[in-house]
C-alpha cells in the first residue's frame, strides 16, 4: 500500500511538473503532450468541479477505484517559476501572481499605523488569492490546482467531538474520529512543531509572548498541528534550505515547505492514471440529460481573464467541489435558471463565516514579539469548553520584518447566525445576505476573551490595522462554510436532493460553523462520503450493467 502510494505520488508529481514545464492546461499521467493534443472529451464517467480539499479527496478515491475522472479548475497550475525564479510572489512585494484579476492587492490587514502601506498595485492575472466581496462580508478563497491549500495557514485541526456532533448530528462520530479524521490527517501530511525547537527559536517568540499573556488571564493554550513540514522549517532556520515560512510567505503561496494538495491528494490522484486535471476552466451551467447523466458548460479563460472558448462536457456523475461559494453558485444558477428545477429550496441556506473575527493587542515595550516571525501558526488559545463564551483563538503571526509589539489573533467564535446565498438571474451574480449585525455576536465573544487578556496584562487593543479605528475585523472570513448543508440540501452523504448523480463534496456541506479551522473536517467528510458513494452508487451501477 505504502510503496504503491509512493509510486503513484511520484508519478503524479512528475506529471504535474511536466505539465507546468510545458505550459499545459491539461495534466494527466499519460504522456503530457498526448494528453494535451487529445480531443476534448464529450462525455466522462466522473466530472469533478474544483480542486480544493473536497475535489482532491474525491478525485483520488475515484481514480483509485478505476473510474476515469476529469477535474476542472478555474485557476492555474502553480508549479512554474516566474522571471524571478519563484513560483509564488512574496507578501512584501506582491505582483500579478498574488491576486485573482485585480489591479491592486486586497490583503486582509490593509493598514499599519493607519497608513495604506500594505497593498500594492498589480496587473490583472489569474493570481492565487481571491477576495469575493459581498455587502457586509468578504470571503477569501484560493484559486488554482489545490484551491485553498495554496494560500492557507496550513493549520490542520480536528474539531472537538461534541461540537462536531452538534453541527453534524447525522454523521456517525465514531466512524469520523476512528477512521476518516485519521485517514485525512495521514494523507494531508499533518505534523506538529517540535516543542523544544519551538521553545528556543526566535521565529516563535510571538507565540510564546501570547501564551504568557493568555496564561496570566487563566487561559489554556494548545499546540496546533499544521501541514507545513516543520523539519523543513527547522532547516530554514538553520540556513540550510531556501526560506519560505521564514520569509513571510503564506497568503500568496509558499514556494517551499507546504504540503499543499498538489503535493498530496492531487499528486496521488493523477498518479492513479485515471485522473486528469484541466486548468483555467470555469464551470458555469449544469443541465440534465435524458439518460440521467449531466452536461456541464465550461468556459476556458486565458491569462487576461478573457473567455477564449466554451464547451460542453457530459458526465455520468458530477461532483461539485468548487468550495462553499462556487458549489452553491453552480446549484443556485441551475435552480434559478430552471435547468435543475427540482433542487431543494435548502440550496443556498445555512451559510456562515465560522465565527471568524480578527483582533490585535499592543504589548508593553519589554514584551517584544520579534522581528522574525514564522508565517505558520502553531498555537491557539483554547477556551472552547467555556460554555459561557466558547472561543478558539489562533495566535497569528504578523511578519513585518521589524519589531512592532503587536499580538495578532484569528478568533473562531460560536456564532449561531446563518445567512443565505442567492442568485440573481438578471445580473448573473451571487449574493450573500450576511449583515454587520450578525458579525456582532462574534465580536462580542472575542471581546469578552481579549478584554480579559488585556486586563490581566494591562494592555490595550491596536486601532490602526483594520481600517476606521476598528479593533475587530469582522468583515471578512477565511472560512466560508455552508450553502448546501449535509442532510438538508443533500442527503447524509452529499447526494444532492432533486438531482440524482450530483454530489457535493466540499465546505458547502458544513453548516456555517465547526469551531476550528475547517480543512481537516472538509477532507475527512469527503473521505467518508466518497467511500459510501463508491460502495453504494457505483456498486449499484455495476450490478445494473
**Which residues carry out catalysis?**
394, 479
Q: Does 32 engage in binding with ligand FAE (CB under 6 A)?
A: no
Q: Does 225 engage in binding with ligand FAE (CB under 6 A)?
A: no
CB atoms closer than 10 angstroms to residue 31: 11
Min separation Cβ 539 and ligand FAE, Å? 26
* Segment 92-96 long-range contacts (CB within 8 Å, at least 24 positions apart): 92/248, 92/401, 93/120, 94/120, 94/122, 94/252, 95/122, 95/123, 96/122, 96/123, 96/124, 96/125, 96/127
Q: Where are the beta strands (DSSP E) in 114-266?
A: 129-133, 138-142, 221-223
Per-residue CA distances from 122 to 100, 315, 399 (Å): 10, 38, 21
Q: Does 236 engage in binding with ligand FAE (CB under 6 A)?
A: no
Q: Does 486 engage in binding with ligand FAE (CB under 6 A)?
A: no
Q: Does 126 engage in binding with ligand FAE (CB under 6 A)?
A: no
Min separation Cβ 540 and ligand FAE, Å? 26
Q: Does 52 engage in binding with ligand FAE (CB under 6 A)?
A: yes
Residue 392: Cβ-neighbour burial (10 angstroms; 0-12, 13-18, 19+):
buried
Q: Does 19 engage in binding with ligand FAE (CB under 6 A)?
A: no
- Tell which one of 61, 102, 143, 495 touches ligand FAE (CB under 6 A): 143
Q: Which is nearer to ligand FAE, 370 or 507 (CB)?
A: 507
CA-CA distance, 44 to 463, in Å (whole number)? 54
Residue 110: Cβ-neighbour burial (10 angstroms; 0-12, 13-18, 19+):
middle
- Tell which one of 32, 141, 347, 360 touches ligand FAE (CB under 6 A): 141
Find the part of the chain contacting ligand FAE (CB under 6 A) among 209-217, 321-329, 418-426, 464-472. 321-329
Q: Which is nearer to ligand FAE, 373 or 459 (CB)?
A: 373
- Mode of pairing for the β-strands spanning 356-362 and 472-473: antiparallel
Report residue 277 as a C-alpha cell.
486535471
Q: Which of 312, 284, 317 is nearest to 500 (CA)?
A: 317
Q: Does 489 engage in binding with ligand FAE (CB under 6 A)?
A: no
- Mode of pairing for the β-strands spanning 356-362 and 379-383: unpaired
Min separation Cβ 118 and ligand FAE, Å? 14
- The answer to whether 326 and 143 are in contact (CB under 8 A) is no
Per-residue CA distances from 465 to 260, 278, 406, 470 (Å): 29, 39, 10, 8
Q: Does 282 engage in binding with ligand FAE (CB under 6 A)?
A: yes
Q: Which residues pair with 432 in a beta bridge?
A: 421
Report residue 373 as a C-alpha cell.
516571525
- Tell which one of 148, 348, 501, 515 touches ligand FAE (CB under 6 A): 148
Find the part of the chain contacting ligand FAE (CB under 6 A) among 210-218, 365-373, 452-460, 514-522. 514-522
Q: Does 316 engage in binding with ligand FAE (CB under 6 A)?
A: no
What are the φ and ψ backbone dihedral angles of 204, each rounded to 5 degrees? -115, 20
Q: Does 164 engage in binding with ligand FAE (CB under 6 A)?
A: no
Binding residues for ligand FAE, total number by CB under 6 A: 38
- Tell which one of 51, 221, 359, 375 touches ligand FAE (CB under 6 A): 51
Q: Does 419 engage in binding with ligand FAE (CB under 6 A)?
A: no
What does the per-residue mask of binding to ligand FAE show for 444-483, with x meaning CB under 6 A? ----------------------------------xx----
Min separation Cβ 507 and ligand FAE, Å? 3
Q: Which is nearer to ligand FAE, 271 or 494 (CB)?
A: 494
Q: Does 263 engage in binding with ligand FAE (CB under 6 A)?
A: no
Positions touching ligand FAE (CB under 6 A) are 49-54, 72-75, 140-144, 147-148, 151-155, 251, 282-283, 321-324, 326, 478-479, 506-507, 517-519, 522
Amino acid at each position: 500500500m505504502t510503496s504503491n502510494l509512493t509510486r503513484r505520488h511520484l508519478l503524479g508529481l512528475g506529471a504535474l511538473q511536466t505539465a507546468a514545464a510545458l505550459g499545459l492546461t491539461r495534466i494527466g499521467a499519460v504522456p503530457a503532450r498526448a494528453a494535451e493534443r487529445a480531443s476534448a472529451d464529450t462525455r466522462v464517467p466522473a466530472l469533478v468541479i474544483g480542486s480544493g480539499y473536497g475535489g482532491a479527496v474525491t478525485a483520488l478515491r475515484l481514480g483509485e477505484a478505476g473510474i476515469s475522472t476529469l477535474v476542472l479548475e478555474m485557476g492555474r497550475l502553480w508549479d512554474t517559476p516566474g522571471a524571478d525564479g519563484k513560483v509564488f510572489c512574496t507578501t512584501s512585494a506582491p505582483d500579478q501572481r498574488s491576486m485573482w484579476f485585480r489591479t491592486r492587492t486586497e490583503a486582509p490587514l490593509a493598514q499599519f499605523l493607519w497608513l495604506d502601506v500594505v497593498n500594492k498595485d498589480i496587473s490583472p492575472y489569474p493570481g492565487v488569492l481571491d477576495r469575493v466581496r459581498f455587502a457586509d462580508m468578504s470571503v477569501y478563497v484560493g484559486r488554482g490546482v489545490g484551491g485553498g491549500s495554496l494560500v492557507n495557514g496550513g493549520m490542520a485541526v480536528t474539531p472537538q467531538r461534541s461540537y462536531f456532533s452538534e453541527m453534524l448530528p447525522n454523521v456517525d462520530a465514531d466512524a469520523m474520529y476512528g477512521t476518516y479524521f485519521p485517514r485525512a490527517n495521514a494523507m494531508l501530511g499533518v505534523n506538529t512543531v517540535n516543542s523544544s525547537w519551538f521553545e528556543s527559536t526566535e521565529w516563535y517568540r510571538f507565540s510564546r509572548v501570547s501564551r504568557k499573556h493568555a496564561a496570566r488571564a487563566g487561559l489554556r493554550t494548545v499546540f496546533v498541528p499544521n501541514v507545513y513540514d516543520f523539519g523543513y522549517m527547522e532547516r530554514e532556520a538553520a540556513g540550510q534550505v531556501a526560506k519560505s515560512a521564514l520569509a513571510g510567505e503564506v497568503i500568496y503561496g509558499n514556494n517551499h515547505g507546504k504540503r499543499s494538495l498538489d503535493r498530496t491528494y492531487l499528486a496521488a490522484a493523477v498518479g492513479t492514471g485515471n485522473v486528469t486535471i484541466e486548468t483555467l476552466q470555469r464551470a458555469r451551467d449544469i443541465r440534465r440529460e435524458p439518460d440521467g447523466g449531466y452536461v456541464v458548460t465550461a468556459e476556458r479563460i486565458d491569462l487576461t481573464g478573457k473567455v477564449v472558448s466554451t464547451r460542453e462536457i457530459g458526465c455520468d456523475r458530477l461532483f461539485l467541489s468548487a468550495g462553499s461559494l462556487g458549489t452553491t453558485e453552480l446549484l443556485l444558477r441551475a435552480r434559478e435558471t430552471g435547468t435543475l428545477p427540482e433542487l431543494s429550496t435548502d440550496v443556498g441556506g445555512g451559510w456562515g463565516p465560522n465565527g471568524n473575527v480578527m483582533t490585535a493587542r499592543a504589548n508593553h515595550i519589554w514584551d517584544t514579539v520579534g522581528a522574525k516571525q514564522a508565517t505558520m501558526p502553531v498555537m491557539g488559545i483554547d477556551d472552547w469548553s467555556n460554555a459561557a463564551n466558547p472561543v478558539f483563538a489562533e495566535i497569528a503571526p504578523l511578519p513585518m520584518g521589524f519589531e512592532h509589539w503587536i499580538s495578532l489573533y484569528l478568533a473562531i467564535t460560536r456564532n449561531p447566525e446563518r445567512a443565505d446565498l442567492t442568485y440573481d438571474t438578471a445580473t448573473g451574480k451571487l449574493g450573500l445576505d450576511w449583515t454587520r449585525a450578525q458579525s456582532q455576536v462574534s465580536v462580542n465573544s472575542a471581546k469578552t476573551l481579549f478584554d480579559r487578556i488585556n486586563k490581566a496584562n494591562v494592555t490595550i487593543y491596536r486601532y490602526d490595522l483594520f481600517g476606521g479605528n476598528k479593533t475587530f475585523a469582522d468583515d471578512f472570513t477565511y472560512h466560508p462554510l455552508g450553502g448546501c448543508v449535509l442532510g438538508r440540501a443533500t442527503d447524509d452523504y452529499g447526494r444532492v436532493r432533486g438531482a440524482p448523480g450530483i454530489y457535493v463534496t466540499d465546505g458547502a456541506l458544513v453548516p456555517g460553523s465547526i469551531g476550528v479551522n475547517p480543512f481537516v473536517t472538509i477532507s475527512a467528510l469527503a473521505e467518508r462520503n466518497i467511500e459510501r458513494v463508491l460502495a453504494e452508487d457505483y456498486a449499484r451501477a455495476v450490478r445494473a450493467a
